[in-house]
Amino acid sequence: MIRLNHILKLSSSIAIFFFAPFFCSGQRDYSKFNPDSSKVISKKDFNNLIDSCINLLQTKELTQISDSGHIDIMMCFNTSLYLGFREETYKILKNLLEEKDYWRKIITIYPDWIYNRGEGYYFRKLKMEVGGTPRRYAIFRVIK
């Protein structure tokens, strides 16, 4: 009888382990999330978003910025860094992040983080990574 109970527990654990990824939401929902696909944005809209992020950082404490605001800041930072944008507004964003000590403080606001590829951060709550070598979903594809 003990062996039968052990076998039943083991088989139910295997079933949960095998089928759980098919029922999870978020980034494991492959029909909605593709980590190798970037959001497309025009250069004008990207510049407007950078200005919006600068405004957020100048007018609010980091704890007052919404999750979507932090995601925008992270995506703008990743995009400007990895696509090599060197215009003045991108430098302003980078300098504000340093002035606000963003990288040290953001891990206290979102303590459930891990290192991503290249030793940036991946924030589980936001399902977003910043710095390091982020995947395409964390970088805008800017078009003219």
pLDDT of 62:
95
Q: What confidence score (pLDDT) does residue 82 get? A: 83
- Determine the Cα–Cα distance for residues 34 and 24; give it in Å rounded to an integer: 15
- So what's the pLDDT on residue 32? 66
pLDDT for the residue 144: 85
Which mean pLDDT values do the consecutive 10-residue runs of the chain (144 residues) have? 45 37 37 74 94 96 96 94 83 94 95 90 94 90 90
Q: What is the largest CA-CA distance in the chain?
A: 73
Q: What is the pLDDT of residue 21?
A: 36
The predicted pLDDT at position 89 comes to 86
Q: How far apart are CA 114 and CA 102, in angstroms?
A: 16
